[in-house]
Homo-oligomer: A and B are copies of this chain.
Amino acid sequence: MLQDYLYIFDMLGTMSCAVSGVIVATRLRMDPFGLLVIATVTAVGGGTSRDIMMGATPVFWIHDNNYIYVVFISVLVSVLWLRRLHKVPPYLLLMWDAFGLAIFTVVGAQKAMLLGFSPLIVVAMGCVTGVAGGMIRDVLTGQIPFVLQKEIYATASLFGALLYVGCSYMGLEPIVVMIIAILGALSLRLAALYWHLSLPILSAN
């Protein structure tokens, strides 16, 4: 039951990240298979990093090929959809990336909790799963990673992971905890984008 919800969220996160990869790749005028490579590494990069660090290998998408099929379908649909737009508005990338960040943070935290890791590691694995895919996408394509930009980003992932751990310890229903944590991380990130919120900089000079 919990596993089913987790699976659905995982697929939604995979889709969101794949679409964000497609948007970056079309901007760079990449061909269909280059685009597929970028969409795939963005979609499975976070979970792959998490599984590798936890020693949960072969990694998840080797066990369950549905993740790859979801990437294929997301790429196909989003390419057709993006072609119908006159111009891709800049907020599209930010939004799909935000969905992926929020969902994958909570999915990653949940998977680490199911494996019995300590709360600190649950939070860390949530953040790794949430931010690594987008980071790999940005490094491979030469974009400035979102984590380096001034709007709240890593903080939103950390907030979602902390919400997840906090609400779990309060004994709420797992599905309720997941929804609260996803909405928390997503709201914080979207609010930061909308109102250009940023934390104070701890600059040296």
Which A31-63 residues have C-beta < 8 A from chain B?
A: 31-38, 48, 52-55, 57-59, 62
Question: Whole-angstrom distance between the alpha carbons of A62 and B122 in the complex?
Answer: 10
Which A165-205 residues have C-beta < 8 A from chain B?
A: 198-205
Are B57 and A87 in contact, with the CB atoms below 8 A?
A: no
Are B34 and A148 in contact, with the CB atoms below 8 A?
A: yes
Which A95-113 residues have C-beta < 8 A from chain B?
A: none
Tell me if A79 counts as interface (CB < 8 A to partner B): yes
Of the candidates A147, A199, A205, the one having the most CB atoms from chain B within 10 angstroms of its own CB is: A147
Tell me if A154 counts as interface (CB < 8 A to partner B): yes
Please give, as numbers and ranges, the residues of chain B lying within 8 Å of A152 by CB-CB distance: 31
Query: Shortest distance in angstroms between A15's beta carbon and chain B's nearest beta carbon?
Result: 18
Copies in the complex: 3
Of the candidates A31, A68, A154, the one having the most CB atoms from chain B within 10 angstroms of its own CB is: A31
Q: A87-B204, A148-B30 are known contacts. Are A68 and B120 too (CB-CB below 8 A)?
A: yes
Are B62 and A117 in contact, with the CB atoms below 8 A?
A: yes
Please give, as numbers and ranges, the residues of chain B lying within 8 Å of A57 by CB-CB distance: 52-55, 57
Which residue of B86, B142, B145, B202 contacts A140 across the interface (Cβ within 8 Å)?
B145
Which residue of B65, B120, B141 contacts A121 across the interface (Cβ within 8 Å)?
B65
Which residue of B29, B54, B155 contacts A203 across the interface (Cβ within 8 Å)?
B29
